[in-house]
Amino acid sequence: AQKVTQAQTEISVVEKEDVTLDCVYETRDTTYYLFWYKQPPSGELVFLIRRNSFDEQNEISGRYSWNFQKSTSSFNFTITASQVVDSAVYFCALSEGAGNQFYFGTGTSLTVIP
């Protein structure tokens, strides 16, 4: 079974629309970390955010916001007023405190149409 599921393979939105990227994770650990990365066409993954399992506070950074809900094992990412530069593949990832692994989802390809 996949540890991190990003059910949305591809999303297209028109510029200035809001978009939410879903991430569902699976773990039995009580200590774990969740991450989001952005991979633009240039290839390198860019770190966006890290969350530990004890901090369920939502976070906002500019046009980006993250909604962490342990009850549903979800860590969703919302981009408000999307821009063309937001076009990229976005990856959600999980690391477990007891393990020694990083688990990535398959990514969501976001296209923002001008």
Residues at the contact surface with another protein, assessed by CB under 8 A: 2, 4, 33, 35, 37, 42-47, 50, 52, 91, 95-97, 99-107
What phi, psi does 18 have (nearest 5°)? Answer: -90, 150
Cβ atoms of 92 and 4 closer than 8 Å: yes
Q: Whole-number minimum distance, CB 114 to another protein, in Å?
A: 25
Q: Among residues 20 and 52, whose Cβ is nearest to another protein?
A: 52
Min CB(31)–another protein separation in Å: 9
> Considering beta carbons, is residue 18 or 26 the nearer one to another protein?
26
Nearest to 83 by CA among 40, 61, 112: 112
Phi/psi for 34 (5° steps) reads -120, 145
Q: How far is the CB of 110 from another protein (least distance, A)?
A: 16
CB atoms within 10 A of CB 110: 21
Q: Is the Cβ of residue 18 or residue 29 nearer to another protein in the bound state? A: 29
